[in-house]
């Protein structure tokens, strides 16, 4: 044991550099991670058995990611639907606790995410640090929103008659999120956190070219008491997965942020079942820096909320 530990310490530098670039062979070969999908709380490979190479900003091979298929998307919607009843009826306080837990666990893995951002996106260490910090803070931000959004968006309506009348926002259901393509961690967090903070469940198509941060994030989600199925992450291609999610009758809302040129086509497909659509906003194509605003407000929550109004007579 002691020996191995010593050896490892000695070989640390080489292992972290990925090895294989000549020089003396490492005393211990690094264990690489297999990047799989995150679906229903588990980490399966794509049912299609396909994967695709993921390279860094500069073209270096980083890993193979699962290439999600239409059927994976279908399974993800089923998982999200199954999780919706439980997640949406958790108390808002409890949802806030869990989102805050996500922030805590992410904070504990700062180094991993920073290194990932440096390696995959070619960010400087300082830039990567800023992005990871902002991502952690984003979870904290939405953790704080869970039990306020109903108060801010809902309330009593003074109807002209002997009725108690009250409106409150409710989650719309299963939200298919096409995450930003060029903002794989902070952008992803910024679109997923508001969806689940309000009690929806999400099926997310991650950045195609930079999907690894998403699966790393899945490990954070999986260890943060977030029930399985609340967030489902599919690595793969928007042109392949998007049409099925947009037209899926059990998808209640669609975030087109990462849809690119296909946004209009998906919006048309979504019309068939009157799926709610959030069109790509300004900055949808931008990098992580486009998502740095520390106070995004309610704009990414309201599109995925329904207003329910309840009337009841007041009498003796």
Partner 1 sequence: MPVPHTAFAPEATTNQALRAFLHGLPGVDEVGARARAQDLSTRSVKTTAKAQAIDLAISMVDLTTLEGADTPGKVRALCAKAAGPDPTDRTVPRVGAVCVYSDMVATAVDALRGTGIGVASVATAFPSGRAPMDAKLADTRRAVADGAGEIDMVIDRGAFLSGDYLKVYEEIAAVKEACGTAHLKVILETGELVTYDNVRRASHLAIRAGGDFVKTSTGKVSPAATLPVTLVMLEAVRDHHAATGRRVGVKPAGGIRTTKDAIRNLVLVNEVAGPDWLTPDLFRIGASSLLNDLLMQRTRLTTGTYPGPDYYTLD
Partner 2 sequence: MIFEYAPAPESRSVVTLRETYELFVDGAFTPAEGGEYLTTLNPADETKLAQVAVAGAADVDRAVAAARRAYDTVWSRMPAAERGKYLFRIARIIQERSRELAVLESMDNGKPIKETRDVDLPLVAAHFFYHAGWADKLAHAGLGPDPRPLGVAAQVIPWNFPLLMLAWKIAPALATGNTVVLKPAETTPLTALAFAEICQEADLPPGVVNILTGAGETGRALVEHPGTDKVAFTGSTEVGRQIARAVAGTDKRLTLELGGKGANIVYDDAAIDQAVEGIVSGIFFNQGHVCCAGSRLLVQESIAEELLPRLKARISRLRLGDPLDKNTDIGAINSAAQLERIRELTDTGEAEGAERWSPACDLPQSGYWFAPTVLTGVSQAHRVAREEIFGPVLSVLTFRTPDEAVAKANNTPYGLSAGVWTEKGSRMLWTAERLRAGVIWSNTFNKFDPTSPFGGYKESGYGREGGRHGLEAYLG
Residue 127: what are its φ and ψ, rounded to 5°?
A: -65, -45
The reply to whether 163 sits near partner 1 by the rule CB under 8 A is: yes
- Joined tokens for residue 99: 């989102």
Query: How many chain residues are in contact with partner 1, going by CB under 8 A?
Result: 6
Eight-class DSSP state of 35: B
Distance in angstroms (rounded) separating the CA atoms of residues 178 and 205: 5
The reply to whether 315 sits near partner 1 by the rule CB under 8 A is: yes
Cβ 144 to partner 2 shortest distance, Å: 18
Distance in angstroms (rounded) separating the CA atoms of residues 170 and 173: 9
Eight-class DSSP state of 288: G
Looking at the Cβ atoms of 59 and 162, the one nearer to partner 1 is 162
Neighbours of 108 (CB within 10 A): 12
Cβ 72 to partner 2 shortest distance, Å: 25
The reply to whether 165 sits near partner 1 by the rule CB under 8 A is: no
- Specify the DSSP element, H or E, that contains 88: helix 70-89
Residues 104-133 that bind partner 1 (CB under 8 A): none
| Binding segment toward partner 2, per CB under 8 A, in 46-54, 111-119, 148-156, 219-227 | 148-156
- Classify residue 240 as exposed, middle or buried by CB count within 10 Å of its CB (0-12, 13-18, 19+): middle
The reply to whether 162 sits near partner 1 by the rule CB under 8 A is: yes
Q: Which does residue 316 bind out of partner 1, partner 2, none, counting CB within 5 to 8 angstroms by kind?
A: partner 1
The reply to whether 49 sits near partner 1 by the rule CB under 8 A is: no
- Classify residue 151 as exposed, middle or buried by CB count within 10 Å of its CB (0-12, 13-18, 19+): exposed
Cβ–Cβ under 8 Å, residues 222 and 216 = no
Q: Which does residue 223 bind out of partner 1, partner 2, none, counting CB within 5 to 8 angstroms by kind?
A: none
The reply to whether 157 sits near partner 2 by the rule CB under 8 A is: yes
Looking at the Cβ atoms of 31 and 156, the one nearer to partner 1 is 156
| Binding segment toward partner 1, per CB under 8 A, in 60-68, 96-104, 146-154, 308-316 | 308-316
The reply to whether 158 sits near partner 1 by the rule CB under 8 A is: no
Neighbours of 184 (CB within 10 A): 28
- Joined tokens for residue 286: 């931008």
Binding residues (CB under 8 A) for partner 2: these are 89, 152-153, 155, 157-161, 163, 165, 167, 172, 249, 252, 263-265, 267-268, 270-274, 276-277, 302, 306-313
């Amino acid at each position: 044991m002691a020996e191995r530990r010593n050896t490892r310490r000695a070989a640390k530098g080489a292992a972290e550099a990925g090895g294989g670039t000549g020089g003396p062979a490492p005393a211990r070969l690094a264990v690489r991670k297999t990047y799989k999908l995150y679906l229903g709380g588990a980490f399966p490979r794509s049912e299609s058995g396909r994967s695709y190479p993921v390279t860094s900003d500069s073209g270096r091979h980083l890993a193979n990611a699962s290439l999600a298929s239409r059927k994976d998307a279908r399974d993800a919607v089923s998982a999200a639907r199954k999780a919706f009843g439980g997640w949406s009826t958790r108390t808002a306080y409890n949802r806030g606790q869990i989102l805050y837990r996500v922030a805590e666990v992410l904070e504990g893995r700062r180094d991993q995410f920073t290194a990932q951002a440096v390696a995959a996106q070619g960010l400087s260490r300082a830039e990567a640090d800023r992005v990871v910090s902002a991502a952690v803070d984003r979870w904290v931000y939405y953790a704080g929103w869970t039990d306020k959004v109903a108060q801010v968006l809902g309330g009593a309506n003074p109807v002209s008659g002997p009725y108690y009348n009250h409106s409150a926002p409710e989650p719309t259901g299963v939200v298919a999120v096409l995450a930003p393509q060029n903002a794989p961690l902070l952008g992803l967090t910024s679109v997923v956190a508001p969806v689940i903070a309000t009690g929806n469940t999400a099926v997310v198509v991650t950045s195609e070219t930079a999907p690894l941060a998403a699966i790393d994030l899945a490990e954070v989600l999986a260890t943060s008491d977030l029930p399985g199925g609340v967030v489902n992450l599919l690595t793969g291609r928007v042109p392949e997965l998007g049409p099925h999610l947009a037209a899926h009758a059990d998808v209640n809302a669609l975030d087109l942020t990462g849809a690119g040129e296909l946004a209009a086509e998906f919006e048309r497909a979504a019309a068939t079942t009157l799926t709610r659509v959030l069109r790509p906003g300004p900055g949808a194509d931008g990098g992580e820096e486009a998502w740095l605003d520390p106070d995004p407000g309610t704009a990414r929550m309201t599109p995925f909320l329904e207003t329910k109004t309840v009337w009841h007579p007041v009498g003796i």
